[in-house]
Amino acid sequence: MKTKVLMVCLGNICRSPLAEGILQSKVDFDTVLVDSAGTAGYHVGNPPDPRSVAVAQKYGLDISAQKCRRFSRTDFDEFDFIYVMDRNNFSDIASLARNQQEAEKIKLLLSEVNVGIHEVPDPYHGDEDGFEDVYQMIDLACEAIAKKLN
């Protein structure tokens, strides 16, 4: 059975689509499945933000076919690990957990690395540089996760 990892942010168009694409590219496709979701439903059905698509493309990843979806409580049944980008995502998801075992699946993505900050900042209202920074920190965290999973 595959290990299943879910990446979660607010909109599921900027940060978590990058995290999905980056981690999936670093793990064995036959044994690890990576997906992403948002805590909010503003962009459901949409592709990732063009700025996330562009920065992924710069590093050789195509995330353009991803489709935004909202996190659902049933994701706790499906996924083994749930990585959130910031503390707001953490509390939003934790409030949906039905028991301790589900709550324990949730981790801040940057808890996997030592980069001096604990949250992946929301780049949505900023410029392209913000997307580059976010890419780099997500990449470091996914490298650490992939080492554990592979």
- From 54, 60, 67, select the one nearest 17 (Cα to Cα): 67
Q: Is 139 known to be catalytic?
A: no
Residues 75, 86, 122, 139: which is the catalytic one? 122
Q: Is 68 known to be catalytic?
A: no
Q: Is 99 exposed, middle or buried (0-12, 13-18, 19+ CB in 10 A)?
A: exposed
Cβ distance to ligand 4NP smaller for residue 31 or 111: 111
- From 77, 79, 12, select the one nearest 41 (Cα to Cα): 12
Return the residue of 124, 126, 133, 140 that touches ligand 4NP, per CB under 6 A: 124
Return the residue of 6, 12, 138, 146 that touches ligand 4NP, per CB under 6 A: 12
Structure tokens at 103: 């709550």
Q: Is 28 known to be catalytic?
A: no
Return the residue of 5, 6, 7, 9 that touches ligand 4NP, per CB under 6 A: 9
